[in-house]
Amino acid sequence: SATSAAQSAMSAYNNASAAASNANAMALSADEQSKAAQQAAGIATNAAEMANTAATAADSAASYANSAANLAKEKAEKADIATDSAISATTRADAAAANAAAAMESINAVDGIVGGDGGGHYSPVTVIDSLREESAGVKLQRIIMDTAWWAHHDIILAAREIGYERTANGLRKKVGDGVKKWSELPYAIDAEVIDQANRIRGRYASRLCGMASHDTLISLTDSADASDFTSVKVLGKSTQDGIPATDAPLPVTGVTPTKVSVRGKNWIGYNNSLPYTNLGVKLTYSNGTYTLSGTSAGYPYKSIYTIPANTLRGTYRLSKTVASGTDTAYIRIIDRTVTPAVPYSESVYATPFTMNGIHNELQVEIACSAGITYNESFYIQLELGSTNTAYEAYTGTDYQLPALSALHRIGSIADSYDAVSGLETRNIGIETFDGTESFINPTLSPNTIRFQYPYAP
């Protein structure tokens, strides 16, 4: 029994030990499971963070996708507009090509240049701004060709059809009348040039004069009363004030035209200085008539017009025509820029006087003598020539020219400016030497040293 009890106790002990081992094992397993659970929780947290990051990236991608979609839409709309423009441009190009073809057919029909001139094939005509109109079944257009083409073909332009001749100096225009050949048509002047010509024309009668600084009178006499000037050309001139020396060079000065002055036969105008009263006499003016009245207590005089410097060139006659009363007062042209004053002409002498175009500013004066009673009306006239002619009222206008650089001349070659067309032509160049040049082939003769300077424009 004791043995049995001992065995039972041993068995119980063993069972208890086994139970303890199992308990230990289960404790270890629970700890491991706790650690595993912690690791799983960490992994889950990381996964959640990655999911959030991915969601943010997805949102950004969606925004970029929307922007890209909008941009693509805008580009598509612009592409549609560009396509429409291209279609419109193509349509216009087709129309222009059709117009050019029609123009070629028109010219070819008139002239037969395509395979029909018998003397060579000319370049096609260039169409400029074809007019969208027809006159009597003829399509009007503007064409341009060179001088040789027009001279060779000499075609008849339709009425109001315009042809341009290409020259080295630009385009020259003719307008057809449907009858005359090209060679028979005059060159046309544009409206603005015609307007200028109408203002600078012969209706001002016998003298057209232009003034230039440092130069004398430039004149054109006996201009036609009913014609337009197509060209009024001012030529250059070169001068030096003295004789240059090697150690004292002098500048070469050109002329600078400032205005074109149109004058009638009578050169004396009126300076709006009247009425005037002095020393007992009174001078008045009305419609070209001067009236002098009163008894002079001295020698009064009055300037009634100023002649600009360097404008008189040639022989002139100063005259006075009495309209009423007694011919008592006298008139004179006098230089009062110097002392004593220098008279050039007085009516009492009634003789011509000659000017060389170089003079100071001159005054036209009416003068009285002491103790004379004046009661007369009269006209005054200064005219080119040695003989008095019938009085004409003063007419004149000044036309200012644009600012120009000086115009020069060497021998018969000169710079020029055309006051009608506005064409400025420069034929004189300026070469400045500083002493470093290499002159070649010097030749000597009495009082002359001739050099040759290598020059390439």
Please report the pLDDT score of residue 428 as a whole number: 85
Domain assignment present for residue 326? The answer is: yes
What's the CA gap between 13 and 366, in Å, rounded?
A: 169
Contact 157, 185 (CB under 8 A): yes
Q: Establish if 100 belongs to a structural domain.
A: no
Task: Tell me the three state secondary structure of residue 71.
Answer: helix
**CA distances (Å), origin 416, targets 66, 223, 409, 441:** 71, 21, 9, 34
Residues 6+ apart with CB under 8 A from 388: 317, 319, 350, 381
Residue 280 is assigned to a structural domain of this protein: yes
**Kind of pairing, strands 162-167 and 142-146?**
parallel
46-96 pLDDT, tens digit per residue, is 766 776 776 676 677 667 777 777 777 777 677 667 666 666 666 665 665
Cβ pair 379, 390 in contact under 8 A? no
Residue 109: the pLDDT is 39
CA–CA distance, 28 with 277 (Å, rounded to integer): 145
Cα separation, 274 vs 323, whole angstroms: 19
Tell whether 64 is covered by a domain.
Answer: no
Is the residue at 284 inside a domain?
A: yes
Q: What is residue 181's predicted lDDT score, i.e. its pLDDT?
A: 92
> Is 19 inside any structural domain?
no
- Please tell me the number of Cα atoms within 13 Å of 425 on its side-chain side: 17
Q: Does residue 331 lie within any of the structural domains?
A: yes
Task: Give residue 325's pLDDT.
Answer: 94
Q: For residue 24, what are the contacts with CB-CB under 8 A and spacing of at least 6? A: none
Low-confidence ranges of the chain (pLDDT < 70): 1-9, 12-13, 16-34, 36-37, 40-41, 43-44, 47-48, 51, 54-55, 57-58, 61-62, 76, 79-80, 82-142, 169-170, 189-231, 347-350, 439-444, 449-457
In the prediction, which pLDDT does 405 show?
Answer: 84
Residues 285 and 376: beta-carbon distance below 8 Å = no
C-alpha span between 199 and 439 (Å, rounded) = 51
User: What per-residue string of b and e applies to 36-65 under the rule 16 or more CB within 10 Å gives b?
Assistant: eeeeeeeeeeeeeeeeeeeeeeeeeeeeee
Number of domains in the chain: 1
Distances (CA, A) of 19 to 5, 9, 10, 14, 24: 20, 15, 14, 8, 9
List the domain range (segments joined by +) for residue 384.
276-394
| Omega before residue 249 within 30° of 0, cis | no
From CA 72, how far away is CA 219, in angstroms rounded? 75
- Whether 159 maps to a domain, the answer reads no
* pLDDT of the residue at 164: 84
Using CA atoms, how far residue 182 sits from 105, 113, 149, 175, 331, in Å, is 19, 16, 11, 9, 58
pTM: 0.46
**CATH code, domain carrying 300:** 2.60.120
3-class state of residue 192 by DSSP: helix
Classify burial at 115, counting beta carbons within 10 Å of its beta carbon; exposed 0-12, middle 13-18, buried 19 or more.
exposed
**CA–CA distance, 248 with 414 (Å, rounded to integer):** 26
